[in-house]
Amino acid sequence: MQTVKMVVTGPFNSGKTAFICSVSEIDVVSTERKISTEAERVKETTTVAMDFGRITVDDDLVLYLFGTPGQKRFDFMWEILSEGMLGFIVMVDSARPETFREARGILQTFRAYAPTPYVVAANKQDHEDAWEVDDLRIALKLASNVKMLPCVATDKESVKKVLLELLYSILEEMKETG
Amino acid sequence: MALKGNLRDVTITQLLNLINLARKTGTLTVEGPKEVAWVSFNGGKLIYAQLGNEDGTLIGILTKAGKMTPKQAQVIRTHAGDKRDKELGLLLINAGYLTQQDILIGIRKYVLDIVYQLFTWIDGFFRFDADVLPPEDSITIRLNLENIIMEGSRHVQEWEYLQEEIPNLNMALNFVERPDANIRDVQLTVEEWRVVSYINPKNTIHQIAKANKMNDLEIRRIVYGLLQAGLIDIVRPEGMSLPMQARRLPPVDKKKQTSLVNRLIERIRSM
Ligand SMILES: Nc1nc2c(ncn2[C@@H]2O[C@H](COP(=O)(O)OP(=O)(O)OP(=O)(O)O)[C@@H](O)[C@H]2O)c(=O)[nH]1
Ligand SMILES: [Mg+2]
């Protein structure tokens, strides 16, 4: 049995847990905790440890989806970059410009260090205050070779599209380096 | 779809950068602490601005610019009746009172003063309304945003802000490949040109600073301006080694890997 992993990361409240829930075949093992600080009281709970979802491909292949906790930075993240890591999804809440700075910080780190392909999901595109993908791309200073996709994390089809685009990028990269 | 937020989160520099790169047409409304400003763009060029209840009519602008006295303005106003700016401008030119150049320089200064003032606002709601343009009869200009962004960035003093925007001085810089981004069209200072001459994916920002004897604040400010003007990109320097852990890639058997990814693709498609 082989397992491969993908990591879903992004600022607080960007929709990481929702993204994994939409496609995981098991209940997402996530450690939600009531939010204590007033500042982040935009919702009731936040993920305090990793989210964890699963997609079984066939008898000998399983894909695991990990979601990073929202309030912590992922300084620890390269530690989980172990064997079998396929790629990353960076979630951004398109409707909350107050989180763009943090998203830019995460993306800058990725630009410097990401060892595998990644895509950026412009999430909550169904929200009336959502910025358009093209505007967000510029606001986040995305490198031209990084894919940014519109996303509604609560919609399975939308999540599938993001996952597929990431897989296509991975394939392309294999061709280039191979 | 919205393009709105607060200046605390998206600065004027970033907004102008967005409007420039996306070649936007429309009007940006900014509600500052004391006043409201409206700035209009066409195809990513600055064309018009208006601040609070300042007199932004042609006569108001020319008076402010010292091209006419308040008394003359009063006389012209009485005679002009309900003539709008464009018509009035023509009248003044034909009467030999002013040249077209005088008028355009006056408006240009008026508009730029407003925009540069916006760079000092650090708080306030903004909203961009696509395709909303100033009234038909206003006199508009057409200014490239690159120069304005560079000039605005020269005055950024907040060290922490610059550090946040450009956290890693071990990254390198490269010119962007947009065909319309021509650095020769931008008015740069001597220091900025010196930095520009070192830009290339082999040199880290840190090395460029060292070569030019600039401190971290100076180099960050210049890089920030060039970035926001859409002229350069931050790139991973050639030959930069990845941290140990990050380098650990999946097993290297290419065929197996490709087949694995294809199986994943099949599975997700069928979900
Ligand atoms: N309208 C809309 N709401 C969404 C979408 N994705 C997530 N949400 C909502 O946004 C809120 C945050 O989603 P989560 O999935 O908890 O976000 P998270 O990134 O896991 O949050 P943390 O773990 O706290 O960082 C929840 O109320 C979700 O229901 C979306 O695409 N559209
Ligand atoms: Mg979560």
Q: What is the pLDDT of residues A10-33, one digit of tens each?
A: 998 999 999 999 999 987 766 666
Average pLDDT, integer, range A128-149: 94
**How much is the mean pLDDT over chain A?**
85
State whether the Cα torsion A27-A31-A33-A37 is positive or negative: negative
In this structure, the residue with its CA closest to atom 13 of ligand 1 is A15
Nearest ligand 1 atom, CA A12: 25
Q: What is the distance between the alpha carbons of residues A122 and B180, in angstroms, rounded to a whole number? A: 27
Residue contact A138–B269, C-beta within 8 A? no
Q: Which letter does DSSP use for residue A70 in this model?
A: S
Contact A108 B234 (CB under 8 A): yes
**What's the CATH number of domain B172-235, 1.10.10, 1.20.120, 1.10.3470, 1.10.357?**
1.10.10
Q: Which residue has the higher pLDDT, B56 or B41?
A: B41
Ligand 2 centroid distance, CA of A45 (Å):
8
SS3 A118: strand
**Best substitution site from A43, A50, A106, A159 to test ligand 1's pocket, by max atoms within 8 Å of Cβ?**
A43
Interface contact B271-A83, CB threshold 8 A: no
Q: What is the pLDDT of residue B181?
A: 72
Instruction: Please give the distance, rounded to the nearest whole angstrom, from the Cα atom of residue A43 to the centre of ligand 1.
Output: 9
State whether residue A71 sits within 8 Å of chain B by CB: no
**What residues does CATH 1.10.10 cover in chain B?**
172-235
Most confidently predicted of A74-88, B99-113, B229-243: B99-113
Q: What ipTM was estimated for this complex? A: 0.88
Q: Mean pLDDT over residues A28-54, rounded?
A: 67
**Does A11 sit in the ligand 1 pocket, CB within 6 Å?**
no
Matching residue, tokens 């093209």: A134
Q: Which amino acid is at A36?
A: S
Task: Enumerate residues 34 to 53 of chain A having a beta carbon within 8 A of any beta carbon in chain B.
Answer: none
**pLDDT > 70 fraction of chain B, expressed in percent and rounded:** 95
Condensed to tens digits (0 to 9), the pLDDT of residues A87-112 reads: 889 999 999 999 999 999 888 877 77
Query: What pLDDT, on the 0 to 100 scale, is given for residue A32?
Result: 64
Closest ligand 1 atom to A153 CA = 31
For each of the domains in chain A, give its residue range(s) and CATH number, in order of start. 2-177 (3.40.50.300)
pLDDT above 60 for A72: no
* B40-50 residue pLDDT tens: 999 999 999 99
pLDDT of residue B239: 78
Mean pLDDT for the stretch of residues A57-73: 81
State whether A135 and B254 contact (CB < 8 Å): no
Which residues from chain B sit within 8 angstroms of residue A130, using beta carbons?
A: 1-2
Tens-digit pLDDT profile for residues B118-171: 999 989 999 999 999 999 889 999 999 999 999 999 988 788 889 888 989 999
Residue B246 predicted with pLDDT over 60: no
Question: Residue A41's pLDDT is what?
Answer: 58
